[in-house]
């Protein structure tokens, strides 16, 4: 599948590019400089467009799906606002609609261990509502705090927020996003993942 990654240069994004390449997907993304573009190609991107003003319209052409992680902030937490660029998400979804892209996987900047009040700060949830109301087949993913540790490929799906500290490797978050692309059990659902004891494939299959 040809997939455009918003946020391919971020902490989750780099793992995403590796995982997409490993799963024989064609990953497209954007970088601000030629040097960074070359780095992302070495990581796994099939093609990287260089754009300082983040003009993605040409880059998104011909893609079949979008994975959006640009609003995810690993330092966000309880009672802290996250600067989610709602207009950027809206522009991306508008262009996706024009180009007939139907599949959207979105990593929420809100974490599973935040209170409901904290999850609402900074308008973190507005992009999710936009995606849900549009024409897309969506999957929205919440995760616990990401860390740079080797992925274990094991997660649990939870149904309610938890105050427990539950770190999850960025690598596993990326694997959940990639697995969700084609796993129909995740279509039009919001899922909350933490590090756990079930393989990612089985956890998503049994939602």
Helix (H, G, I), strand (E, B) or coil at 49: strand
What is the spatial distance between Cα 74 and Cα 65, in angstroms, rounded to a whole number? 24
CATH code of residue 98: 3.40.50.720
Mean pLDDT of 104-133: 81
CB-based contact 44:21 (threshold 8 Å) = yes
CB-based contact 177:141 (threshold 8 Å) = yes
Residues 20-70: pLDDT tens digits?
A: 999 999 999 999 899 999 999 999 999 999 987 778 888 899 999 999 986
What is the spatial distance between Cα 200 and Cα 48, in angstroms, rounded to a whole number? 28
With a pLDDT cut of 70, the percent of the chain lying above it is: 88
Mean pLDDT of 7-24: 92
Looking at residue 159, what DSSP letter applies? S
Instruction: Name residues whose C-beta falls within 8 Å of residue 203's C-beta, 6 or more positions apart in sequence.
Output: 155, 156, 157, 193, 196
Q: Which residue's structure tokens are 């497209």?
A: 28
Number of domains into which the chain is organized: 1
Instruction: Name residues whose C-beta falls within 8 Å of residue 25's C-beta, 6 or more positions apart in sequence.
Output: 1, 2, 3, 178, 181
DSSP string of 80-142? ------HHHHHHHHHHHHHTT--EEEEE-SS-TTS-HHHHHGGGTTHHHHHHHHSS-EEEEEE
* pTM (global) more than 0.75: yes
Q: What pLDDT sits at residue 82?
A: 46
Domain that holds residue 195: 2-205
Q: How much of the chain is in helix, strand and coil states, percent to nearest 5?
A: 35, 25, 40
- Tell whether the model's pLDDT for residue 161 goes beyond 70: no
């Amino acid at each position: 599948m040809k997939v455009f990654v918003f946020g391919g240069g971020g902490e989750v994004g780099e793992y995403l590019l590796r995982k997409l390449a490993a799963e024989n997907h064609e990953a497209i993304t954007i970088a601000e400089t030629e040097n960074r573009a070359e780095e992302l190609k070495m990581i796994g991107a099939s093609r990287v467009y260089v754009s300082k003003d983040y003009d993605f319209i040409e880059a998104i052409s011909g893609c079949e799906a979008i994975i959006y992680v640009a609003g995810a902030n690993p330092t966000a937490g309880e009672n802290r606002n996250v600067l989610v660029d709602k207009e950027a998400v809206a522009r991306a979804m508008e262009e996706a609609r024009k180009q007939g892209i139907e599949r959207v996987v979105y990593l929420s900047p809100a974490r599973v261990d935040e209170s409901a009040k904290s999850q609402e700060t900074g308008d973190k949830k507005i992009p999710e509502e936009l995606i849900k109301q549009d024409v897309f087949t969506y999957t929205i993913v919440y995760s616990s705090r990401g860390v740079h540790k080797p992925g274990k490929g094991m997660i649990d799906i939870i149904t309610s927020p938890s105050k427990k500290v539950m770190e999850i490797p960025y690598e596993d978050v990326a694997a959940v996003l990639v697995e969700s692309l084609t796993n129909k059990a995740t279509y039009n659902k919001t899922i909350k993942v933490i590090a756990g004891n079930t393989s990612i494939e089985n956890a998503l299959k049994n939602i």
